[in-house]
Structures are given as C-alpha cells and as structure tokens.
Amino acid sequence: MTSSQKNNVTVYEGNGEHSLSRAQTFRWHKAFLEGRENVEDEQRSERLTTSKTDKNIECLRTLVRSDRHLTLRMLSEQLNLNRFTVQQILSEHLHMRKVCGKMVPKNLSIKQKKMR
C-alpha cells in the first residue's frame, strides 16, 4: 500500500462519512508532497456576472411577452447572451417555465386560468 493510500484510509477512519473523497485525498497528498504547507483555499479570480443585469432581464421580458414562440436559441442570439444564461434568467428571475414550446408564467392569474 502506498503512502497516499494509507493516508486515505487514515482520513476515512478518522472522519467517517464526512471525510474527503479518495480522489481529493490523493490530490491533497500530492500537493503536500510538492511542498504545499497551507490547508486554506488558494485565491481565485472570481468572474463577475455581467450578463444577468437588470437591463438584460428587462429586454428578455419584453421579447418573451412580445412573442412567446421564440426559442432559447433565438432569444440568446437577439440579446447576444449564452443560451444557458437566457434559461436561467427566464426561470430564476422571470419565474417562467416552458410549456409546449411557449414560455409562460409559472403561476397563472385567475383571469389567465379562465382563458385556458
């Protein structure tokens, strides 16, 4: 058994189900063998969310209300946004979901329910 495997067994025995995965234990073991001394996370450059702005959300709301048959691809091309970002804005910010190819509000009003 290699030293990293022994460490993995030791970590698991000490912490049980709350321990790191085997792969993560091997990564940490390798990092410490290469000279790492700090267990804190290293600094990362965080990307700012520039696509989920109020302006983009309002533009998307206007587009969807003008034509509910627009696809995610069409919306993303018109707004020059990633398709996944458009999906997130529609579901998280505008609280809409896809029903038979149309984006509709999740909660219908009483008037909307009568019109169905």
At 18-77, the pLDDT tens digits run 767 778 878 888 888 888 877 777 776 666 667 888 999 999 999 988 988 888 899 999
Q: DSSP of 48-111, one letter per residue?
A: P--SS-HHHHHHHHHHHHH-TT--HHHHHHHHT--HHHHHHIIIIIS-EEEETTEEEESS--HH
At 69-114, the pLDDT tens digits run 888 899 999 999 989 999 999 988 888 877 666 666 667 778 877 8
pTM here is: 0.48
At 27-38, the pLDDT tens digits run 888 888 888 877
- Distance between CA atoms of 63 and 104, rounded to whole angstroms? 13
* 90 CB burial (10 A radius; 0-12, 13-18, 19+): buried
